A and B are shown apart, each in its own frame.
Chain A
Amino acid sequence: MNQEELNKIERKRKTIYLIIQTLNIAVVILFIGTFLFMFSNAFNPNFGDSFVLPFITIPLIIILVLVNRYLENSINKEISKAIYEPAFKEKNTEFSYDDGLTLDEVMSSNLFPKPDRFTSSSLTKGEISNFPYKASNITLLEEHTETDKDGHTHTSTTVIFDGRMYIIETPFYKKGIILKSKKIGKEKLLNIAVSAIIILIAIGLIIHNLLLPILSDPYYKEGVVEFFKKNLLFFIGFILIIILTIISPFLSSRKKGYRKAKLESGQFNEYFDIETQDQVELRKTLTPAVMEKLINLRSSIGEFHLSIIGSKIFFAFPKSFAIKYNKPVQELIEEAKQAVERELETIKSIIETLKLEEEKIKKGIINNN
Protein backbone atom coordinates (compact mmCIF):
# COMPACT_ATOMS: atom_id res chain seq x y z
CA MET A 1 0.00 0.00 0.00
CA ASN A 2 1.58 3.29 -1.08
CA GLN A 3 1.57 6.63 0.73
CA GLU A 4 -1.21 8.04 -1.46
CA GLU A 5 -3.54 5.16 -0.58
CA LEU A 6 -2.67 5.56 3.10
CA ASN A 7 -3.48 9.26 2.91
CA LYS A 8 -6.81 8.39 1.29
CA ILE A 9 -7.62 5.98 4.14
CA GLU A 10 -6.56 8.58 6.69
CA ARG A 11 -8.93 11.14 5.14
CA LYS A 12 -11.74 8.56 5.10
CA ARG A 13 -11.00 7.64 8.73
CA LYS A 14 -11.25 11.29 9.81
CA THR A 15 -14.57 11.75 7.97
CA ILE A 16 -16.09 8.54 9.35
CA TYR A 17 -14.80 9.33 12.84
CA LEU A 18 -16.59 12.70 12.62
CA ILE A 19 -19.82 11.06 11.37
CA ILE A 20 -19.69 8.42 14.14
CA GLN A 21 -19.19 11.09 16.81
CA THR A 22 -22.12 13.12 15.39
CA LEU A 23 -24.34 10.03 15.32
CA ASN A 24 -23.36 9.21 18.91
CA ILE A 25 -24.37 12.71 20.05
CA ALA A 26 -27.65 12.43 18.10
CA VAL A 27 -28.42 9.07 19.76
CA VAL A 28 -27.76 10.50 23.24
CA ILE A 29 -29.93 13.59 22.56
CA LEU A 30 -32.78 11.46 21.17
CA PHE A 31 -32.58 9.06 24.11
CA ILE A 32 -32.56 11.77 26.76
CA GLY A 33 -35.29 13.73 24.90
CA THR A 34 -37.53 10.66 24.69
CA PHE A 35 -36.96 9.82 28.34
CA LEU A 36 -37.73 13.36 29.52
CA PHE A 37 -40.80 13.52 27.30
CA MET A 38 -42.13 10.22 28.64
CA PHE A 39 -41.36 11.22 32.24
CA SER A 40 -42.95 14.71 32.00
CA ASN A 41 -46.14 13.32 30.39
CA ALA A 42 -46.48 10.29 32.61
CA PHE A 43 -49.08 12.02 34.83
CA ASN A 44 -50.75 13.94 32.01
CA PRO A 45 -54.35 12.71 31.39
CA ASN A 46 -53.98 13.51 27.65
CA PHE A 47 -50.76 11.54 27.40
CA GLY A 48 -52.37 9.05 25.02
CA ASP A 49 -52.43 11.69 22.26
CA SER A 50 -48.64 12.20 22.38
CA PHE A 51 -47.84 8.51 22.85
CA VAL A 52 -46.88 8.23 19.17
CA LEU A 53 -43.54 10.08 19.66
CA PRO A 54 -41.53 7.21 21.23
CA PHE A 55 -42.70 5.00 18.38
CA ILE A 56 -40.73 7.30 16.08
CA THR A 57 -37.70 8.07 18.24
CA ILE A 58 -36.94 4.56 19.53
CA PRO A 59 -36.73 2.94 16.03
CA LEU A 60 -34.69 5.97 14.95
CA ILE A 61 -32.23 5.39 17.81
CA ILE A 62 -31.94 1.72 16.80
CA ILE A 63 -31.31 2.66 13.15
CA LEU A 64 -28.66 5.21 14.14
CA VAL A 65 -26.91 2.66 16.38
CA LEU A 66 -26.90 0.12 13.54
CA VAL A 67 -25.55 2.69 11.06
CA ASN A 68 -22.88 3.57 13.60
CA ARG A 69 -21.86 -0.05 13.95
CA TYR A 70 -21.78 -0.54 10.18
CA LEU A 71 -19.52 2.47 9.75
CA GLU A 72 -17.23 1.29 12.57
CA ASN A 73 -16.92 -2.18 11.05
CA SER A 74 -16.25 -0.91 7.55
CA ILE A 75 -13.53 1.54 8.65
CA ASN A 76 -11.99 -1.06 10.98
CA LYS A 77 -11.84 -3.50 8.08
CA GLU A 78 -10.10 -0.98 5.83
CA ILE A 79 -7.67 0.02 8.55
CA SER A 80 -6.89 -3.65 9.32
CA LYS A 81 -6.07 -4.29 5.68
CA ALA A 82 -3.90 -1.21 5.57
CA ILE A 83 -1.93 -1.76 8.77
CA TYR A 84 -1.63 -5.54 9.20
CA GLU A 85 -0.51 -6.25 5.67
CA PRO A 86 2.69 -4.14 5.88
CA ALA A 87 3.37 -5.36 9.44
CA PHE A 88 3.22 -9.05 8.43
CA LYS A 89 4.84 -8.56 5.02
CA GLU A 90 7.82 -7.05 6.81
CA LYS A 91 8.20 -10.46 8.50
CA ASN A 92 7.96 -12.36 5.17
CA THR A 93 4.51 -13.56 6.01
CA GLU A 94 1.58 -13.94 3.63
CA PHE A 95 -1.44 -11.96 4.75
CA SER A 96 -5.06 -12.08 3.65
CA TYR A 97 -7.61 -10.08 5.61
CA ASP A 98 -10.69 -11.83 4.19
CA ASP A 99 -9.48 -15.40 4.77
CA GLY A 100 -9.07 -17.24 8.06
CA LEU A 101 -8.65 -20.65 9.62
CA THR A 102 -11.60 -22.94 8.93
CA LEU A 103 -13.88 -24.19 11.70
CA ASP A 104 -12.59 -27.74 11.12
CA GLU A 105 -9.00 -26.58 11.61
CA VAL A 106 -9.91 -24.80 14.85
CA MET A 107 -11.99 -27.74 16.10
CA SER A 108 -9.13 -30.18 15.44
CA SER A 109 -7.23 -28.36 18.23
CA ASN A 110 -9.68 -29.90 20.75
CA LEU A 111 -9.37 -26.68 22.72
CA PHE A 112 -12.93 -25.41 22.39
CA PRO A 113 -16.46 -26.81 22.30
CA LYS A 114 -18.27 -26.57 18.97
CA PRO A 115 -19.61 -23.03 18.64
CA ASP A 116 -22.98 -21.88 17.29
CA ARG A 117 -21.33 -19.02 15.45
CA PHE A 118 -17.80 -18.83 14.12
CA THR A 119 -15.85 -16.08 12.34
CA SER A 120 -12.23 -15.88 11.29
CA SER A 121 -10.13 -13.31 9.45
CA SER A 122 -6.61 -11.97 8.96
CA LEU A 123 -5.04 -15.21 7.79
CA THR A 124 -1.25 -15.27 7.91
CA LYS A 125 1.06 -17.97 6.62
CA GLY A 126 4.79 -18.20 6.95
CA GLU A 127 7.71 -19.80 8.74
CA ILE A 128 9.10 -19.19 12.21
CA SER A 129 12.50 -20.71 12.97
CA ASN A 130 12.02 -22.87 9.82
CA PHE A 131 8.70 -24.26 11.06
CA PRO A 132 5.71 -23.58 8.79
CA TYR A 133 2.67 -22.08 10.44
CA LYS A 134 -0.65 -20.45 9.70
CA ALA A 135 -2.72 -18.23 11.94
CA SER A 136 -5.82 -16.10 12.02
CA ASN A 137 -8.10 -14.15 14.31
CA ILE A 138 -10.95 -16.36 15.46
CA THR A 139 -14.18 -15.74 17.35
CA LEU A 140 -16.30 -18.58 18.70
CA LEU A 141 -19.74 -17.76 20.06
CA GLU A 142 -22.34 -19.83 21.85
CA GLU A 143 -26.01 -18.91 21.67
CA HIS A 144 -28.51 -19.63 24.43
CA THR A 145 -32.22 -19.48 23.71
CA GLU A 146 -34.65 -19.40 26.63
CA THR A 147 -38.43 -19.28 26.62
CA ASP A 148 -40.12 -17.44 29.48
CA LYS A 149 -43.50 -18.33 31.02
CA ASP A 150 -45.27 -15.99 28.55
CA GLY A 151 -43.83 -17.96 25.65
CA HIS A 152 -41.35 -15.26 24.59
CA THR A 153 -37.95 -16.51 23.47
CA HIS A 154 -34.76 -14.69 24.46
CA THR A 155 -31.42 -15.33 22.84
CA SER A 156 -28.16 -14.44 24.54
CA THR A 157 -24.64 -14.90 23.24
CA THR A 158 -21.57 -16.02 25.18
CA VAL A 159 -18.05 -15.65 23.87
CA ILE A 160 -16.24 -18.99 24.00
CA PHE A 161 -13.03 -17.53 22.65
CA ASP A 162 -12.00 -14.33 20.89
CA GLY A 163 -8.37 -14.15 19.96
CA ARG A 164 -5.74 -15.43 17.61
CA MET A 165 -4.84 -19.03 16.84
CA TYR A 166 -1.55 -20.31 15.44
CA ILE A 167 -1.14 -23.78 13.93
CA ILE A 168 2.50 -24.88 13.71
CA GLU A 169 3.64 -27.92 11.72
CA THR A 170 6.13 -30.03 13.68
CA PRO A 171 8.43 -32.92 12.85
CA PHE A 172 7.03 -35.22 15.53
CA TYR A 173 3.78 -37.06 16.09
CA LYS A 174 1.94 -36.88 19.42
CA LYS A 175 -1.26 -38.68 20.37
CA GLY A 176 -2.66 -35.65 22.16
CA ILE A 177 -1.83 -33.15 24.88
CA ILE A 178 -4.18 -30.31 25.82
CA LEU A 179 -3.33 -27.40 28.12
CA LYS A 180 -6.07 -24.93 28.90
CA SER A 181 -5.43 -21.87 31.02
CA LYS A 182 -7.49 -21.78 34.18
CA LYS A 183 -9.04 -18.60 35.48
CA ILE A 184 -6.89 -17.14 38.22
CA GLY A 185 -7.04 -14.22 40.61
CA LYS A 186 -10.24 -12.20 40.50
CA GLU A 187 -11.93 -14.48 37.95
CA LYS A 188 -11.26 -17.50 40.16
CA LEU A 189 -12.71 -15.66 43.15
CA LEU A 190 -15.77 -14.82 41.07
CA ASN A 191 -16.22 -18.50 40.19
CA ILE A 192 -15.93 -19.44 43.87
CA ALA A 193 -18.47 -16.73 44.78
CA VAL A 194 -20.92 -17.99 42.12
CA SER A 195 -20.51 -21.60 43.36
CA ALA A 196 -21.06 -20.45 46.95
CA ILE A 197 -24.27 -18.63 45.96
CA ILE A 198 -25.56 -21.74 44.11
CA ILE A 199 -24.81 -23.94 47.16
CA LEU A 200 -26.53 -21.47 49.51
CA ILE A 201 -29.61 -21.36 47.26
CA ALA A 202 -29.67 -25.20 47.18
CA ILE A 203 -29.42 -25.37 50.99
CA GLY A 204 -32.14 -22.72 51.29
CA LEU A 205 -34.42 -24.73 49.00
CA ILE A 206 -33.84 -27.89 51.03
CA ILE A 207 -34.61 -26.09 54.30
CA HIS A 208 -37.65 -24.34 52.84
CA ASN A 209 -39.12 -27.35 51.04
CA LEU A 210 -38.05 -30.14 53.35
CA LEU A 211 -37.14 -29.24 56.91
CA LEU A 212 -39.57 -26.39 57.63
CA PRO A 213 -42.69 -28.24 56.39
CA ILE A 214 -41.70 -31.28 58.48
CA LEU A 215 -41.11 -29.24 61.63
CA SER A 216 -44.23 -27.11 61.18
CA ASP A 217 -46.47 -30.14 60.67
CA PRO A 218 -48.12 -30.88 64.08
CA TYR A 219 -48.78 -34.45 63.02
CA TYR A 220 -45.38 -34.99 61.50
CA LYS A 221 -44.81 -38.25 63.35
CA GLU A 222 -47.88 -39.79 61.76
CA GLY A 223 -47.80 -37.67 58.66
CA VAL A 224 -44.24 -38.35 57.41
CA VAL A 225 -45.31 -41.01 54.94
CA GLU A 226 -48.15 -38.80 53.74
CA PHE A 227 -45.74 -35.88 53.44
CA PHE A 228 -43.28 -38.02 51.47
CA LYS A 229 -46.03 -39.05 49.04
CA LYS A 230 -47.18 -35.45 48.66
CA ASN A 231 -43.64 -34.21 47.85
CA LEU A 232 -42.49 -37.24 45.90
CA LEU A 233 -41.56 -35.21 42.84
CA PHE A 234 -39.35 -32.90 44.89
CA PHE A 235 -37.46 -35.82 46.46
CA ILE A 236 -36.95 -37.51 43.12
CA GLY A 237 -35.59 -34.20 41.80
CA PHE A 238 -33.35 -33.85 44.86
CA ILE A 239 -31.88 -37.34 44.41
CA LEU A 240 -31.41 -36.70 40.68
CA ILE A 241 -29.47 -33.51 41.48
CA ILE A 242 -27.17 -35.47 43.83
CA ILE A 243 -26.60 -38.16 41.19
CA LEU A 244 -25.94 -35.54 38.50
CA THR A 245 -23.49 -33.75 40.81
CA ILE A 246 -21.62 -37.02 41.31
CA ILE A 247 -21.44 -37.96 37.64
CA SER A 248 -21.03 -34.43 36.23
CA PRO A 249 -17.19 -34.57 36.23
CA PHE A 250 -17.48 -37.60 33.96
CA LEU A 251 -20.05 -35.92 31.70
CA SER A 252 -17.98 -32.76 31.26
CA SER A 253 -16.54 -31.72 27.94
CA ARG A 254 -13.84 -34.39 28.07
CA LYS A 255 -12.74 -35.49 24.64
CA LYS A 256 -12.75 -39.10 23.56
CA GLY A 257 -9.64 -40.92 24.78
CA TYR A 258 -8.43 -37.98 26.88
CA ARG A 259 -7.87 -38.14 30.63
CA LYS A 260 -7.24 -35.35 33.05
CA ALA A 261 -3.70 -35.22 34.40
CA LYS A 262 -1.76 -33.48 37.12
CA LEU A 263 1.96 -32.80 37.07
CA GLU A 264 4.49 -32.34 39.85
CA SER A 265 4.37 -28.55 39.85
CA GLY A 266 1.57 -27.14 41.99
CA GLN A 267 1.78 -23.78 40.21
CA PHE A 268 1.53 -25.45 36.81
CA ASN A 269 -1.58 -27.35 37.93
CA GLU A 270 -3.02 -24.11 39.25
CA TYR A 271 -2.44 -22.36 35.90
CA PHE A 272 -3.55 -25.13 33.51
CA ASP A 273 -6.13 -27.84 33.05
CA ILE A 274 -4.19 -30.73 31.53
CA GLU A 275 -5.66 -33.51 29.42
CA THR A 276 -3.78 -36.22 27.61
CA GLN A 277 -4.16 -39.47 25.73
CA ASP A 278 -0.80 -40.74 26.94
CA GLN A 279 0.57 -39.98 30.41
CA VAL A 280 4.14 -40.92 29.44
CA GLU A 281 4.10 -38.80 26.30
CA LEU A 282 2.76 -35.88 28.36
CA ARG A 283 5.69 -36.05 30.78
CA LYS A 284 8.18 -36.59 28.00
CA THR A 285 6.98 -33.36 26.38
CA LEU A 286 6.39 -31.33 29.52
CA THR A 287 9.71 -31.73 31.29
CA PRO A 288 10.22 -29.62 34.45
CA ALA A 289 12.15 -27.05 32.37
CA VAL A 290 9.31 -26.80 29.80
CA MET A 291 6.76 -26.45 32.61
CA GLU A 292 8.72 -23.61 34.13
CA LYS A 293 8.90 -21.79 30.78
CA LEU A 294 5.16 -22.21 30.21
CA ILE A 295 4.47 -20.82 33.70
CA ASN A 296 6.61 -17.78 32.85
CA LEU A 297 4.82 -17.35 29.53
CA ARG A 298 1.46 -17.54 31.31
CA SER A 299 2.58 -14.80 33.68
CA SER A 300 3.82 -12.58 30.87
CA ILE A 301 1.13 -12.88 28.15
CA GLY A 302 -1.87 -13.91 30.25
CA GLU A 303 -4.29 -16.71 29.46
CA PHE A 304 -3.37 -18.95 26.55
CA HIS A 305 -4.35 -22.41 25.41
CA LEU A 306 -2.03 -24.95 23.86
CA SER A 307 -2.60 -28.35 22.33
CA ILE A 308 -0.27 -30.77 20.58
CA ILE A 309 -2.17 -33.22 18.42
CA GLY A 310 -0.67 -35.38 15.68
CA SER A 311 2.03 -33.33 14.03
CA LYS A 312 0.47 -29.96 14.83
CA ILE A 313 0.80 -27.50 17.69
CA PHE A 314 -2.23 -25.29 18.27
CA PHE A 315 -1.64 -22.11 20.21
CA ALA A 316 -4.53 -19.76 21.03
CA PHE A 317 -4.14 -16.50 22.88
CA PRO A 318 -5.97 -13.18 23.30
CA LYS A 319 -5.52 -10.57 20.58
CA SER A 320 -2.48 -8.47 21.34
CA PHE A 321 -3.75 -5.46 19.41
CA ALA A 322 -7.13 -3.79 18.99
CA ILE A 323 -7.85 -1.32 16.19
CA LYS A 324 -9.00 2.09 17.38
CA TYR A 325 -10.28 4.25 14.53
CA ASN A 326 -9.83 7.41 16.59
CA LYS A 327 -6.07 7.23 16.10
CA PRO A 328 -4.14 8.31 12.96
CA VAL A 329 -3.39 5.41 10.56
CA GLN A 330 0.36 6.04 10.72
CA GLU A 331 0.30 5.63 14.49
CA LEU A 332 -1.74 2.41 14.17
CA ILE A 333 0.77 1.02 11.64
CA GLU A 334 3.56 1.44 14.20
CA GLU A 335 1.48 -0.18 16.93
CA ALA A 336 0.53 -3.08 14.62
CA LYS A 337 4.20 -3.66 13.75
CA GLN A 338 5.08 -3.90 17.43
CA ALA A 339 2.11 -6.21 18.08
CA VAL A 340 3.11 -8.52 15.21
CA GLU A 341 6.70 -8.51 16.47
CA ARG A 342 5.54 -9.50 19.98
CA GLU A 343 3.22 -12.18 18.60
CA LEU A 344 5.92 -13.81 16.46
CA GLU A 345 8.40 -13.63 19.35
CA THR A 346 5.88 -15.50 21.52
CA ILE A 347 5.51 -18.25 18.90
CA LYS A 348 9.28 -18.42 18.60
CA SER A 349 9.57 -18.90 22.36
CA ILE A 350 6.97 -21.71 22.18
CA ILE A 351 9.08 -23.43 19.50
CA GLU A 352 12.19 -23.00 21.65
CA THR A 353 10.39 -24.13 24.81
CA LEU A 354 9.16 -27.33 23.22
CA LYS A 355 12.65 -27.92 21.77
CA LEU A 356 11.28 -28.48 18.26
CA GLU A 357 14.72 -27.92 16.72
CA GLU A 358 16.11 -30.84 18.72
CA GLU A 359 13.13 -32.99 17.75
CA LYS A 360 13.80 -32.18 14.09
CA ILE A 361 17.45 -33.23 14.37
CA LYS A 362 16.52 -36.39 16.26
CA LYS A 363 13.81 -37.21 13.74
CA GLY A 364 16.28 -36.58 10.91
CA ILE A 365 18.75 -39.05 12.40
CA ILE A 366 16.08 -41.71 12.87
CA ASN A 367 14.48 -41.17 9.44
CA ASN A 368 17.75 -41.14 7.50
CA ASN A 369 18.02 -44.90 7.89
Chain B
Amino acid sequence: MELIIFIVIAIIIIGFILIYNTVISKKNNVDNALGSIDAELKKRRDLIPNLVESVKAYMQYEKDLLEKITRLRESAEKIEDPEKRLQIEQELSKALRTLAVRFENYPQLKASQNFLQLQATLTDVEESIAAARRFYNQAVTEYNNILEQIPFTFIAKMLGLQRKEVFTIPEEERANIDIGELFKK
Protein backbone atom coordinates (compact mmCIF):
# COMPACT_ATOMS: atom_id res chain seq x y z
CA MET B 1 0.00 0.00 0.00
CA GLU B 2 2.84 2.36 0.88
CA LEU B 3 4.31 1.65 -2.50
CA ILE B 4 1.10 2.61 -4.30
CA ILE B 5 0.97 5.85 -2.31
CA PHE B 6 4.60 6.48 -3.22
CA ILE B 7 3.90 5.97 -6.94
CA VAL B 8 0.77 8.13 -6.84
CA ILE B 9 2.70 10.94 -5.11
CA ALA B 10 5.53 10.60 -7.67
CA ILE B 11 3.04 10.84 -10.55
CA ILE B 12 1.32 13.87 -8.94
CA ILE B 13 4.67 15.67 -8.49
CA ILE B 14 5.77 14.93 -12.06
CA GLY B 15 2.32 16.01 -13.33
CA PHE B 16 2.50 19.26 -11.36
CA ILE B 17 5.98 20.05 -12.74
CA LEU B 18 4.77 19.38 -16.30
CA ILE B 19 1.66 21.54 -15.94
CA TYR B 20 3.59 24.36 -14.24
CA ASN B 21 6.28 24.31 -16.97
CA THR B 22 3.64 24.36 -19.73
CA VAL B 23 1.87 27.41 -18.24
CA ILE B 24 5.16 29.27 -17.73
CA SER B 25 6.42 28.45 -21.23
CA LYS B 26 3.18 29.77 -22.77
CA LYS B 27 3.48 32.94 -20.71
CA ASN B 28 7.12 33.40 -21.75
CA ASN B 29 6.18 32.79 -25.36
CA VAL B 30 3.78 35.75 -25.19
CA ASP B 31 6.52 37.97 -23.71
CA ASN B 32 8.90 36.76 -26.40
CA ALA B 33 6.36 37.57 -29.13
CA LEU B 34 5.79 41.04 -27.66
CA GLY B 35 9.55 41.55 -27.70
CA SER B 36 9.61 40.61 -31.40
CA ILE B 37 7.01 43.28 -32.21
CA ASP B 38 9.02 45.80 -30.22
CA ALA B 39 12.21 44.92 -32.11
CA GLU B 40 10.52 45.35 -35.49
CA LEU B 41 8.92 48.65 -34.42
CA LYS B 42 12.36 49.86 -33.33
CA LYS B 43 13.69 49.03 -36.82
CA ARG B 44 10.89 51.13 -38.31
CA ARG B 45 11.58 54.03 -35.95
CA ASP B 46 15.24 53.95 -37.02
CA LEU B 47 14.21 54.25 -40.66
CA ILE B 48 11.91 57.23 -40.21
CA PRO B 49 14.54 60.06 -39.92
CA ASN B 50 16.15 58.97 -43.22
CA LEU B 51 12.77 58.63 -44.89
CA VAL B 52 11.61 62.08 -43.77
CA GLU B 53 14.95 63.59 -44.80
CA SER B 54 14.82 62.04 -48.27
CA VAL B 55 11.23 63.12 -49.05
CA LYS B 56 10.90 66.52 -47.39
CA ALA B 57 12.55 68.39 -50.29
CA TYR B 58 9.92 66.94 -52.67
CA MET B 59 6.88 66.96 -50.38
CA GLN B 60 6.76 70.56 -49.24
CA TYR B 61 2.96 70.54 -49.05
CA GLU B 62 3.06 67.64 -46.56
CA LYS B 63 5.11 69.53 -43.97
CA ASP B 64 2.51 69.01 -41.24
CA LEU B 65 2.30 65.27 -41.85
CA LEU B 66 6.08 64.89 -41.84
CA GLU B 67 6.33 66.86 -38.59
CA LYS B 68 3.63 64.69 -37.04
CA ILE B 69 5.53 61.55 -38.02
CA THR B 70 8.78 62.93 -36.52
CA ARG B 71 6.96 63.93 -33.32
CA LEU B 72 5.27 60.54 -32.91
CA ARG B 73 8.56 58.73 -33.52
CA GLU B 74 10.28 60.79 -30.82
CA SER B 75 7.44 60.13 -28.35
CA ALA B 76 7.58 56.39 -29.05
CA GLU B 77 11.33 56.43 -28.40
CA LYS B 78 10.93 58.21 -25.06
CA ILE B 79 7.98 56.34 -23.53
CA GLU B 80 8.92 53.41 -21.28
CA ASP B 81 5.46 51.86 -20.80
CA PRO B 82 5.09 49.23 -23.57
CA GLU B 83 1.30 49.56 -23.80
CA LYS B 84 1.38 53.34 -24.22
CA ARG B 85 4.23 52.99 -26.71
CA LEU B 86 2.15 50.55 -28.75
CA GLN B 87 -0.70 53.10 -28.86
CA ILE B 88 1.66 55.72 -30.23
CA GLU B 89 3.08 53.20 -32.69
CA GLN B 90 -0.45 52.59 -33.97
CA GLU B 91 -0.86 56.29 -34.59
CA LEU B 92 2.53 56.31 -36.27
CA SER B 93 1.46 53.41 -38.50
CA LYS B 94 -1.63 55.38 -39.51
CA ALA B 95 0.45 58.46 -40.33
CA LEU B 96 2.93 56.39 -42.35
CA ARG B 97 0.08 54.85 -44.35
CA THR B 98 -1.25 58.31 -45.14
CA LEU B 99 2.25 59.33 -46.21
CA ALA B 100 2.53 56.26 -48.47
CA VAL B 101 -0.72 57.27 -50.19
CA ARG B 102 0.55 60.84 -50.67
CA PHE B 103 3.75 59.55 -52.35
CA GLU B 104 1.59 58.92 -55.40
CA ASN B 105 1.08 62.68 -55.80
CA TYR B 106 4.83 63.20 -56.22
CA PRO B 107 5.97 61.22 -59.28
CA GLN B 108 9.43 62.82 -59.12
CA LEU B 109 10.04 60.71 -55.98
CA LYS B 110 10.16 57.59 -58.14
CA ALA B 111 13.31 58.93 -59.77
CA SER B 112 15.14 59.02 -56.46
CA GLN B 113 17.00 55.75 -55.90
CA ASN B 114 17.50 56.66 -52.26
CA PHE B 115 13.75 57.03 -51.79
CA LEU B 116 12.99 53.76 -53.62
CA GLN B 117 15.46 51.93 -51.44
CA LEU B 118 13.94 53.40 -48.26
CA GLN B 119 10.44 52.61 -49.45
CA ALA B 120 11.42 48.97 -50.15
CA THR B 121 13.07 48.67 -46.73
CA LEU B 122 10.05 50.23 -45.04
CA THR B 123 7.72 47.79 -46.83
CA ASP B 124 9.96 44.95 -45.69
CA VAL B 125 9.86 46.18 -42.07
CA GLU B 126 6.06 46.60 -42.25
CA GLU B 127 5.81 42.96 -43.40
CA SER B 128 8.00 41.94 -40.46
CA ILE B 129 5.74 43.90 -38.08
CA ALA B 130 2.68 42.14 -39.50
CA ALA B 131 4.43 38.76 -39.10
CA ALA B 132 5.45 39.62 -35.51
CA ARG B 133 1.81 40.52 -34.74
CA ARG B 134 0.70 37.13 -36.09
CA PHE B 135 3.28 35.48 -33.84
CA TYR B 136 1.99 37.50 -30.86
CA ASN B 137 -1.67 36.71 -31.59
CA GLN B 138 -0.86 33.02 -31.94
CA ALA B 139 1.08 33.05 -28.64
CA VAL B 140 -1.72 34.94 -26.85
CA THR B 141 -4.39 32.56 -28.20
CA GLU B 142 -2.46 29.53 -26.96
CA TYR B 143 -1.86 31.25 -23.61
CA ASN B 144 -5.53 32.25 -23.18
CA ASN B 145 -6.67 28.73 -24.14
CA ILE B 146 -4.45 27.17 -21.53
CA LEU B 147 -5.74 29.57 -18.85
CA GLU B 148 -9.21 28.09 -19.34
CA GLN B 149 -8.23 24.45 -19.62
CA ILE B 150 -8.23 21.98 -16.75
CA PRO B 151 -5.77 21.33 -15.06
CA PHE B 152 -3.71 24.35 -16.26
CA THR B 153 -6.33 26.81 -15.00
CA PHE B 154 -5.61 25.85 -11.33
CA ILE B 155 -1.88 26.60 -11.65
CA ALA B 156 -2.63 29.81 -13.59
CA LYS B 157 -4.95 30.97 -10.80
CA MET B 158 -2.30 30.16 -8.20
CA LEU B 159 0.20 32.28 -10.14
CA GLY B 160 -2.36 35.08 -10.62
CA LEU B 161 -2.08 35.01 -14.43
CA GLN B 162 -4.62 37.07 -16.40
CA ARG B 163 -5.98 36.78 -19.94
CA LYS B 164 -4.23 38.90 -22.58
CA GLU B 165 -5.74 40.75 -25.52
CA VAL B 166 -4.83 39.92 -29.11
CA PHE B 167 -3.98 42.66 -31.61
CA THR B 168 -6.99 43.73 -33.61
CA ILE B 169 -7.06 45.80 -36.76
CA PRO B 170 -8.36 49.35 -36.02
CA GLU B 171 -11.85 50.13 -37.38
CA GLU B 172 -10.60 52.65 -39.94
CA GLU B 173 -8.13 50.11 -41.38
CA ARG B 174 -10.83 47.48 -41.59
CA ALA B 175 -13.08 49.87 -43.48
CA ASN B 176 -10.40 50.51 -46.09
CA ILE B 177 -9.35 46.95 -46.86
CA ASP B 178 -8.38 46.69 -50.51
CA ILE B 179 -9.66 43.29 -51.66
CA GLY B 180 -7.39 43.39 -54.72
CA GLU B 181 -4.32 43.85 -52.49
CA LEU B 182 -5.44 41.00 -50.23
CA PHE B 183 -5.59 38.57 -53.12
CA LYS B 184 -2.10 39.59 -54.26
CA LYS B 185 -0.61 38.50 -50.91
Q: Which of B63-71, B80-88, B123-131, B148-156 contacts A (4 or more CB under 8 A)?
A: B123-131
Q: How far in angstroms is the closest Cβ of chain A from B39?
A: 8
Interfacial chain B residues near A243, Cβ < 8 Å: 14
Tell me the complex Cα distance, A224–B5, Å: 11
Closest residue on chain A to residue B182 by CB atoms: A289
Residues 316-347 of chain A: 1 if any B CB is under 8 Å from the residue's CB, otherwise 0?
00000000000000000000000000000000
Contact of B120 among A235, A238, A281, A362 (CB under 8 A): A362
Given contacts A221-B1, A224-B1, A369-B114, contact A279 B33 (CB under 8 A): yes
Contact between chains at B128 and A280 (CB < 8 Å): yes
Chain B CB within 8 A of A30 CB = no
Given contacts A280-B128, A280-B131, A369-B117, contact A242 B14 (CB under 8 A): yes
Chain B CB within 8 A of A156 CB = no
- CB proximity to B under 8 Å, residues A227-274: 227-228, 235, 238-239, 242-243, 246, 262-264
Contact between chains at A365 and B120 (CB < 8 Å): yes
Given contacts A365-B116, A368-B117, contact A262 B128 (CB under 8 A): no
Given contacts A281-B131, A369-B113, contact A264 B1 (CB under 8 A): no
Interface size on A, residues (CB 8 A): 31
Q: How far in angstroms is the closest Cβ of chain B from A69?
A: 51
Q: How far in angstroms is the closest Cβ of chain B from A211?
A: 8
Tell me the complex Cα distance, A61–B32, Å: 65
Given contacts A242-B11, A280-B131, A283-B131, contact A366 B121 (CB under 8 A): yes
Contact between chains at B3 and A214 (CB < 8 Å): yes
Given contacts A264-B134, A279-B33, A279-B135, contact A225 B116 (CB under 8 A): no
Name the prevailing secondary structure of the A interface residues. Answer: helix
Contact of A280 among B1, B40, B185 (CB under 8 A): B40
Chain B CB within 8 A of A287 CB = yes
Closest residue on chain B to residue A365 by CB atoms: B120
Contact between chains at A362 and B124 (CB < 8 Å): yes
Interfacial chain B residues near A235, Cβ < 8 Å: 3
Chain B CB within 8 A of A284 CB = yes
Chain B CB within 8 A of A70 CB = no
Contact between chains at B138 and A263 (CB < 8 Å): yes
Closest residue on chain B to residue A279 by CB atoms: B135
Closest residue on chain B to residue A283 by CB atoms: B131
Given contacts A366-B121, A368-B117, A369-B113, contact A283 B1 (CB under 8 A): no
Contact between chains at A280 and B36 (CB < 8 Å): yes
Contact between chains at B134 and A283 (CB < 8 Å): yes
Given contacts A289-B185, A368-B113, contact A264 B138 (CB under 8 A): yes
Interfacial chain B residues near A242, Cβ < 8 Å: 10-11, 14
Tell me the complex Cα distance, A366–B119, Å: 9
Chain A CB within 8 A of B2 CB = yes
- CB proximity to A under 8 Å, residues B24-82: 32-33, 36, 40
Q: How far in angstroms is the closest Cβ of chain A from B2?
A: 5
Closest residue on chain A to residue B113 by CB atoms: A369
Residues 146-184 of chain A: 1 if any B CB is under 8 Å from the residue's CB, otherwise 0?
000000000000000000000000000000000000000
Chain A CB within 8 A of B18 CB = yes
Interfacial chain A residues near B32, Cβ < 8 Å: 279
Contact between chains at A284 and B127 (CB < 8 Å): yes
Chain A CB within 8 A of B147 CB = no
Interfacial chain A residues near B140, Cβ < 8 Å: none
- CB proximity to B under 8 Å, residues A204-232: 210, 214, 220-221, 224-225, 227-228
Closest residue on chain B to residue A238 by CB atoms: B7
Residues 1-21 of chain B: 1 if any A CB is under 8 Å from the residue's CB, otherwise 0?
111100100110010001000
Chain A CB within 8 A of B23 CB = no
Tell me the complex Cα distance, A240–B16, Å: 17
The 10 A-B pairs at the shortest CB distance, nearest first, are namely A283-B131, A284-B131, A365-B120, A369-B117, A283-B134, A279-B135, A280-B132, A280-B131, A224-B2, A280-B36
27 contacts between A and B (CB under 8 A): A214-B4, A224-B1, A225-B2, A227-B3, A228-B2, A238-B7, A239-B10, A242-B11, A242-B14, A246-B18, A263-B138, A264-B134, A264-B138, A279-B135, A280-B40, A280-B132, A281-B131, A282-B131, A282-B135, A283-B132, A283-B135, A284-B127, A284-B128, A288-B185, A365-B116, A366-B124, A369-B113
Besides A366-B124, A369-B114, 6 more A-B contacts (Cβ < 8 Å) are A224-B3, A225-B2, A263-B138, A264-B138, A279-B135, A280-B131
